[in-house]
């Protein structure tokens, strides 16, 4: 009996020792090696890209996964954000426009945001604000989208995503003027970026995710 107990005790101690050794490692991970500091994180999708998937794209040849966003809605908003601020939620430009998507304070008020300082520190709210503003602009421009999408103005085919991007830049009123003047009234912001440029750069994305909403709010 004593011999059996001793055997069991020895076996138990041996197992515990092996488990202890297996979980020990002298290797340490230097997280600084994985920093993205100094890298150019370019979310811009080529104007000539033809993909129209609503999901992340797979390579048909070997069925391997690719993080390319194509012409999806996510691709649209990330490309627009990169152009506006480099994708930086904390960005404030020289004209006081705020966040990843560079909102003005008056636009924020229209979608229910009255505290710009709090907005700047809240990435989730900034994403909601982008959707709400796009939905409001889509409602305001619903007739112009119906009447002009597919037509050629100043050498480019008008698309819904181009219209919404230009409205984000210049406001829906400026986009109406551009479309209804067939490109003669081409608003430019303080940095010289025009409605036409945004209409071209952000054409052909799938923005069907955005539903027109006259009273869209972020909160």
Query: Tens digits of per-residue pLDDT, 33-64?
Result: 444 455 555 544 444 433 333 333 333 344 43
* Residue 65 or residue 212, greater confidence: 212
pLDDT digits (tens, 9 = 90+) for 86-145: 999 999 999 999 999 999 999 999 999 999 999 999 999 999 999 999 999 999 999 999
Question: What is the rounded distance in angstroms from the CA atom of residue 99 to the CA atom of residue 90?
Answer: 5
Task: Answer whether residue 85 shows pLDDT above 50.
Answer: yes
Question: What is the rounded distance in angstroms from the CA atom of residue 119 to the CA atom of residue 104?
Answer: 11
Phi, psi of 156 (to 5 degrees): -125, 150
- CA distances 184 to 153, 163, 178, 181, 193, Å, are 10, 16, 6, 5, 15
Q: Is 165 exposed, middle or buried (0-12, 13-18, 19+ CB in 10 A)?
A: buried
Return the pLDDT at 205: 97
pLDDT digits (tens, 9 = 90+) for 163-204: 999 999 999 999 999 999 999 999 999 999 999 999 999 999
Task: Answer whether residue 29 shows pLDDT above 70.
Answer: no
Return the pLDDT at 166: 98
Helix, strand or coil for residue 114? coil
Return the pLDDT at 35: 47
Mean per-residue pLDDT, 11-40: 55
Question: What is the rounded distance in angstroms from the CA atom of residue 210 to the CA atom of residue 135?
Answer: 6
């Amino acid at each position: 009996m004593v011999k059996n107990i001793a055997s069991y005790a020895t076996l138990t101690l041996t197992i515990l020792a092996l488990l202890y050794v297996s979980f020990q490692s002298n290797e340490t991970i230097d997280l600084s090696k994985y920093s993205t500091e100094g890298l150019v994180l370019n979310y811009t999708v080529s104007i000539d890209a033809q993909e129209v998937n609503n999901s992340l794209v797979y390579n048909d040849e070997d069925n391997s996964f690719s993080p390319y966003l194509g012409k999806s809605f996510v691709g649209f908003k990330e490309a627009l954000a990169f152009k506006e601020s480099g994708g930086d939620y904390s960005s404030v430009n020289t004209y006081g426009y705020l966040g990843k998507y560079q909102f003005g304070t008056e636009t924020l008020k229209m979608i229910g945001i009255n505290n710009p300082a709090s907005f700047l520190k809240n990435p989730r709210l900034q994403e909601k604000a982008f959707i709400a503003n796009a939905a409001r602009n889509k409602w305001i421009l619903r007739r112009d989208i119906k009447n002009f999408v597919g037509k050629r103005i100043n050498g480019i085919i008008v698309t819904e995503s181009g219209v919404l991007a230009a409205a984000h830049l210049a406001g829906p009123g400026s986009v109406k003027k551009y479309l209804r003047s067939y490109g003669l009234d081409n608003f430019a912001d303080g940095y010289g970026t025009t409605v036409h440029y945004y209409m071209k750069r952000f054409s052909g994305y799938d923005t069907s995710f955005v539903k027109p909403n006259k009273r869209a709010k972020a909160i």
